[in-house]
Amino acid sequence: MNEEHLLPIEKSRLGIIGGSGFYSIQTINCLKEIEIDTPYGKPSDSIKIFKVGNLELAFIARHGKNHQFNPTEVPYKANIWALRSIGVRWIIAPSAVGSLQEQIRPLDIVIPDQFIDRTNNRPASFFNEGIVAHVNMGDPFCTNLSRILHEVGEKYIPSGRQIHKGGTYLAMEGPAFSTRAESNLYRKWGCSIIGMTNHTEARLAKEAEIAYSSLSMVTDYDCWNQTQEEVSVEMVLNNLKINTEVANKIVYETAKEIDILRPKSSSHKALEIGLMTPKNKAPFNTLSKVKIFTDSYWS
């Protein structure tokens, strides 16, 4: 294994995890594709490398280029491990979501700042099998990265649409959409949007000491809103197609800002006070899997 995971922030890469309908970066040419094997199996797709200024972007399709992985089946650990192994220290995650609030309309974009997790069959942590770590998830999204993403988004979102700063993302298991009773319950909880993937990525990214932020693209009102057309795959795909162009522009312009700012994040030191198991008590096989995260503490 190379040592790219130890790259300093000024040389690190920006990761893009593309969701439904967002299978590549359309505004710039791909320089190369990388196939990576990880201790957690193969990632969902090859990683495509792009460049904006002096910043390299590492893009992976969350569900695979042919959308063959449902939200439960996405190889989350492999994806995050692979990105960190090539020096990714920031991740922007475009994804499709449904709206749980009237004022958040289809084709709006939300930069959420909180989660409620309702998944039940997901990899919760890299740290198990004899090594324990507890990271702080009070702020699951990187506040610095989210601020930059929102500021850029406000400049480039088309007239008549809104970009919402903050909000709670309800993460459900899927792949079926929610029942109306569930949808109304989540509204009572104060949730803003509903999706199926970002929480799992954000939790693992924090353990991998990667700053993570979501570009949540609203495709529809969730089923609580009975005055609107019932949510369907066709509706989601049509709105995703409309959203893809603006999402690509926001990602590209945000990458230009990150190239200049190279923002630091509390996520970059998430394990500093989180590692509990002494290195000399760590099982070798487990240590070999997580050493790319722990090298700076257990050198």
User: 12: exposed, middle or buried (C-beta count within 10 Å: 0-12, 13-18, 19+)?
Assistant: buried
> Residue 118: beta bridge partners?
172
- Rounded to an integer, what distance in angstroms lies between the CA atom of residue 14 and that of residue 262? 10
- Rounded to an integer, what distance in angstroms lies between the CA atom of residue 21 and that of residue 109? 15
Residue 216 has φ and ψ, to the nearest 5°, of -90, 115
Helix (H, G, I), strand (E, B) or coil at 140: coil
Catalytic residue, candidates 37, 108, 220, 295? 220
CA 260 centroid distance within chain:
22
Copy the structure tokens of residue 59.
């893009």
Closest CA to 58 of 47, 69, 66: 47
Told to judge if 37 belongs to the known catalytic residues of this protein, a careful annotator would answer no
183: left (phi over 0), alpha (psi -120 to 50) or beta: alpha
Query: How far from 128 is each of 69, 134, 273, CA to CA, in Å?
Result: 24, 11, 17
Told to judge if 222 belongs to the known catalytic residues of this protein, a careful annotator would answer yes
Catalytic residue, candidates 45, 113, 222, 259? 222
Q: Which are the catalytic amino acids? A: 220, 222
